[in-house]
């Protein structure tokens, strides 16, 4: 059986998803304040890294990276509801791209698996 | 087994070893983060040799064509010569052959380089006053069309270099300049793609360069240029751009002004992003260049992205003012 990453289309799927996902995040008033003043080119590369990871692709993200990368946001009030919103946007993106429901669930599970690291707890 | 040459030093690579891993092993402090060919923290520039395709996956065309690659995904099969400082250019001399005002604030300087000077229209060079003070200016000229470099210099209050260029430098003087850089320039390969160019103030300089370069390279898609200024009197090269529009059916020029008489050809008070969206059709497929005031550039970038433009197709050159 092929891996999740291969099944949804690998790097090409990441490239197809990243603009849609980032646009949804920036349009979402529940979370977009965390992205104010952030360099968009740097951010889109981080988004690609995130998508590669949750799609089950090759990455070397560690719990430590996740903690360090979000620490300043947790101090600004980042909590479970914001992580929920991100995962919701992720799901909507994948739905738009025609990814199968069970794969979307698998991807949401991977995203959920880093929740505690992101929220530094 | 292959090797790299880093500056002067030859470094052997183990089978399957990446350039990043070899350099770190040798004790070089190389910026890096994801090590998965994604974050682009470890961008380096090859000056000679063949770059493996994987090492450039996801990079913008303009970076690719300049030889940039990601060290973490680079396992070269053949020797690769890598620049130790991709931003360091060599200083060279150029003679001032023209020095005229476009309007009360903006000076046009044309320079004749003393030796062959390679650049892409839309990139910027730096001009040096003495050994310590350099400022960046974008190139409005096109190397295949013009035998000079053209810069548009806005007078900055208390600006060390701009006031010097305006008031003291004259035709016949020799200036010290440094190599062209920046990734706002035309890349061939998609001749039908629609191109949107927008800028404020002297952000017009690189945009004119990019437009003329694209036309010279037989671009067949529409090219729309929007120049934004505060007052209608701040527009410059207005007639030249109207002439360009008349002479090329692919090229279209619009001016967006906040104040002043709009009863002039191509001038309106419609905001820049609105003008761009109106002519874009499907923004997703447009190649976009934004140059000039950093707030305007970042604002437009966000608005156009939200309206459907692809981040990979947006190239920006925010003119960041010097604090000195």
Is B301 buried (19+), middle (13-18) or exposed (0-12) by CB count in 10 A?
buried
Q: Quick: pLDDT tens for A71-114.
A: 999 999 999 999 999 999 999 999 999 999 999 999 999 999 99
Contacts of B310 in chain A (CB under 8 A): 19
- Residue A17: give its domain's CATH number: 1.10.490.10
Distance CA B288, CA B122 (A): 13
Give the residue numbers spanning the domain of A13. Answer: 4-118
Predicted pLDDT of residue B121: 95
Q: How far does the CA of residue A31 sit from the closest CA of chain B (Å)? A: 15
Strands B133-138 and B251-259, bridge-based pairing: unpaired
**Rounded to 5, what percent of chain B is helix, strand, coil?**
25, 30, 40
- Indicate if the pLDDT at residue B90 is higher than 60: no
Supply the pLDDT for residue B322.
63
**Among residues B282, B279, B273, B275, which one has the least CA distance to residue B308?**
B282
Q: What is the H or E stretch that residue B82 is in?
A: strand B80-82
Q: B306 vs A27: CB contact, 8 Å cut-off? A: yes
Q: From the CA of B204, how many Å to the nearest CA of chain A?
A: 23
Q: For residue B247, count other CB atoms closer than 10 A to its CB.
A: 9
Give SS3 for B5.
strand
H-run or E-run covering B275: helix B272-280
CATH architecture observed for domain B195-318: 3-Layer(aba) Sandwich (3.40)
Helix (H) and strand (E) counts in chain B:
7, 17
Chain centroid to CA B22: 32
| pLDDT value at B184 more than 50 | yes
Give me the mean pLDDT over the B294-307 stretch. Answer: 93
Print the SS3 string covering B130-179.
Answer: CCCEEEEEEECCCCCCCCCEEEEEECCCCCHHHHHHHHCCCCCCEEEEEE
B299 contact A CB<8A = no
Task: Tell me if A11 and B39 make a contact (CB, 8 A cut-off).
Answer: no
B201-230 burial, b for 16+ CB within 10 Å, e for fewer? bbbbbbbbbbbbbbbeeebeebbbbbbbbe
Q: 3.10.450.30, 3.40.50.12240, 3.10.20.30, 3.40.640.10: which CATH number matches B2-82? A: 3.10.20.30
A40 chain-B contacts, CB cut-off 8 A: 298, 301-302, 305, 311
Which residue from A23, A45, A60 is facing B306, i.e. has the nearest CB? A23
User: What's the ipTM?
Assistant: 0.87
Query: Can you tell me the distance from the alpha carbon of B80 to that of B47, in angstroms, rounded to the nearest whole number?
Result: 8
d(CA B37, CA B150): 37
The answer, for B40 touching chain A at a CB cutoff of 8 Å, is yes
User: Structure pTM?
Assistant: 0.78
A43 backbone dihedrals φ, ψ, rounded to 5°: -65, -40
Q: What digits encode the pLDDT tens for the residues B28-60?
A: 878 776 677 765 667 889 999 999 998 998 777
Query: B32: which residues sit within 8 A by CB, 6+ positions away?
Result: B20, B24, B41, B42, B71, B72
- In chain B, what percentage of residues exceed pLDDT 90? 66
What total number of domains does chain A contain?
A: 1
| Contact residues on chain A for B305, CB-CB shorter than 8 A | 19, 22-23, 26, 40
Best B72, B283, B305, B311 member to test A by mutation, with max A CBs in 10 Å, is B311
The overall average pLDDT reported for chain B is 89
- Least confident among B19-23, B81-85, B107-111: B81-85
**Chain A CB contacts of B58 below 8 Å:** 11, 15, 48
- Residues in chain A with CB shorter than 8 Å from the CB of B35 are 60
Cβ neighbours of A46 in B, within 8 Å: 39
Q: What is the per-residue pLDDT across B94-112, written as a single tens digit (0 to 9) for each?
A: 999 999 999 999 999 999 9
pLDDT tens-place string over residues B112-134: 999 888 899 999 888 888 766 77
Q: Which residues pair with A91 in a beta bridge?
A: none
3 state SS for B195-251 = EEEEEEHHHHHHHHHHHHHHHHCCCCCCEEEEEEEEEHHHCCCHHHHHHHHHHCCCE
- With beta carbons less than 8 A apart as the criterion, state whether B120 and B185 touch: yes
* Distance in angstroms (rounded) separating the CA atoms of residues B248 and B222: 10
Q: Name every chain B residue with its beta carbon within 8 A of the beta carbon of A22.
A: 305, 311
Out of A20-29, A39-48, B263-272, the most confident range is A20-29
* Half-sphere exposure for B289 (CA within 13 Å, toward CB): 30
pLDDT of residue B216 exceeding 50: yes
Question: Which of B34, B182, B309 is the best mutation test for A, with the most CBs of A within 10 A?
Answer: B34
How close A45 comes to chain B (CA, Å)? 5
Check whether domain B91-181 has CATH 2.40.30.10, yes or no: yes
Cβ-defined contact of B36 to A22 (cutoff 8 Å): no
Mean pLDDT, chain A, whole residue set: 91
CB contact under 8 A, A59 and B301: no
Q: What is the pLDDT of residue B87?
A: 47
Residues B54/B90, Cβ–Cβ less than 8 Å: no
> Where along chain B do its domains lie?
2-82, 91-181, 195-318
Stated length of chain B:
324
pLDDT in tens, B140-153: 999 999 999 999 99
Asked if B35 and A40 come within 8 Å (Cβ–Cβ), the reply is no
Residue A41 token pair = 């080119």
Q: Does B217 touch chain A (CB under 8 A)?
A: no
């Amino acid at each position: 059986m092929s891996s999740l990453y291969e099944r949804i289309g690998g790097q090409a799927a990441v490239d197809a998803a990243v603009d849609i996902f980032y646009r949804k995040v920036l349009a979402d008033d529940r979370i977009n304040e965390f992205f104010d003043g952030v360099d968009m080119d740097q951010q889109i590369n981080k988004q690609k890294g995130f998508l590669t990871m949750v799609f089950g692709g090759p990455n070397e993200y560690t719990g430590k990276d996740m903690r360090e990368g979000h620490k300043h946001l947790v101090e600004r009030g980042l909590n479970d509801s914001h992580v929920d919103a991100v995962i919701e946007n992720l799901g909507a993106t994948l739905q738009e791209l025609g990814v199968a429901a069970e794969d979307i669930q698998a991807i949401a599970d991977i995203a959920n698996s880093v929740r505690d690291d992101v929220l530094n707890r | 087994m292959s090797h790299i040459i880093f500056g002067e030093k030859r470094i052997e690579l183990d089978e399957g070893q990446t350039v990043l891993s070899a350099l770190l092993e040798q004790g070089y402090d190389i910026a890096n983060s994801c090590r998965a060919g994604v974050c682009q923290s470890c961008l380096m520039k090859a000056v000679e040799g063949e770059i493996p395709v994987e090492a450039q996956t996801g990079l913008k065309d303009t970076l690719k064509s300049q030889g940039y690659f990601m060290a973490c995904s680079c396992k070269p099969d053949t020797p690769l010569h890598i620049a130790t400082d991709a931003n360091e250019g060599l200083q060279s001399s150029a003679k001032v052959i023209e020095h005229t005002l476009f309007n009360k604030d903006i000076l046009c300087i044309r320079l004749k380089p003393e030796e062959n000077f390679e650049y892409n229209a839309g990139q910027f060079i730096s001009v040096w006053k003495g050994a310590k003070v350099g400022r960046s200016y974008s190139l409005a000229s096109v190397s295949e069309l013009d035998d000079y470099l053209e810069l548009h210099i806005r007078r900055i209050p208390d600006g060390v270099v701009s006031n010097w260029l305006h008031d003291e430098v004259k035709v016949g003087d020799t200036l010290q300049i440094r190599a062209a850089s920046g990734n706002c320039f035309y890349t061939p390969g998609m001749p039908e793609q629609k191109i949107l160019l927008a800028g404020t103030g002297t952000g017009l300089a690189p945009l004119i360069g990019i437009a003329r370069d694209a036309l010279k390279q037989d671009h067949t898609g529409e090219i729309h240029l929007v120049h934004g200024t505060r007052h209608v009197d701040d527009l410059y090269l207005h007639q030249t751009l109207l002439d360009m529009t008349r002479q090329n059916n692919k090229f279209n020029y619009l001016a967006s002004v906040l104040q002043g008489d709009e009863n002039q050809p191509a001038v309106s008070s419609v905001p820049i992003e609105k003008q761009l969206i109106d002519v874009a059709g499907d923004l997703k497929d447009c190649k976009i260049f934004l140059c000039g005031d950093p707030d305007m550039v970042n604002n437009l970038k966000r608005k156009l992205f939200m309206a459907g433009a692809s981040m990979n197709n947006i190239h920006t050159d925010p003119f960041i003012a010097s604090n000195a």
